[in-house]
């Protein structure tokens, strides 16, 4: 019985290698694409084209998910991901969907509160998320 077990475990595939997916060609390409989508969506939102901004946000969400799927996302990726969530939260806030907006701002709060190493930019983003949550709470009566 032990011989069968040893023989079978010897045929098992090797464990997956711990490769850094952020070094793969697709990763910086996805970051660049999400940054571009964010800029387009931000411009659409600012110019009153909410439907177009919403469509761009939806287009960016699968990219956002891929960037977050890696073991340790880069700062640039996390900023792009955060920007998409921030814009979505601001759109929801402008449409008086305060609870949903708060959820997106809360994600950013958690991202930047726990980011290491802290920088001036991550601190700025943390304070921005806190202020946006406070704006939602004001409308929610918290």
- How much is the pLDDT for 19? 84
Q: What is the pLDDT of residues 15-24, one digit of tens each?
A: 455 689 999 9
20 lies in some domain:
no
Q: How many domains does the chain have?
A: 1
pLDDT tens by residue, 64-97: 999 999 999 999 999 999 999 999 999 999 999 9
Percentage of the chain surpassing pLDDT 90?
A: 84
> Does position 10 have pLDDT exceeding 90, yes or no?
no
Q: 114 lies in a domain?
A: yes
Cβ 15 vs Cβ 65: under 8 Å: no
- Residue 17 maps to a domain: no
Distances (CA, A) of 65 to 60, 131, 134: 9, 25, 27
| Separation of alpha carbons 20 and 122, rounded Å | 23
* Nearest CA among 71, 60, 127, 139 for reference residue 99: 139
Which tokens sit at 67?
A: 């960037």
In a domain, 132, yes or no: yes
Decide if 29 is inside a domain. Answer: yes
- Which pLDDT band holds residue 14 (cuts at 50, 70, 90)? very low
Which structural domain, as residue segments, surrounds residue 35?
25-140
Report pLDDT for 141. 80
Residue 2 lies in a domain: no
Q: What does pTM read for this prediction? A: 0.84
Is 9 domain-assigned?
no
Note whether residue 4 is domain-resident: no
């Amino acid at each position: 019985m032990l011989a069968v077990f040893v023989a079978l475990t010897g045929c098992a595939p090797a464990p997956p290698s711990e490769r850094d997916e952020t070094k793969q060609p697709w990763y910086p390409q996805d970051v660049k694409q999400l940054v571009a989508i964010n800029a387009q969506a931000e411009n659409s939102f600012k110019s009153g084209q909410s439907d177009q901004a919403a469509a761009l946000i939806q287009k960016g969400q699968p990219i956002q998910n891929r960037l977050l799927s890696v073991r340790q996302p880069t700062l640039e990726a996390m900023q792009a991901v955060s920007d998409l969530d921030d814009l979505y939260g601001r759109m929801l806030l402008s449409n008086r969907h305060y609870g949903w907006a708060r959820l997106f701002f809360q994600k950013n709060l958690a991202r930047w509160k726990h980011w290491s190493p802290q920088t001036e930019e991550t601190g700025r983003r943390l304070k921005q998320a806190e202020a946006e949550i406070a704006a939602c709470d004001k409308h929610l009566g918290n």
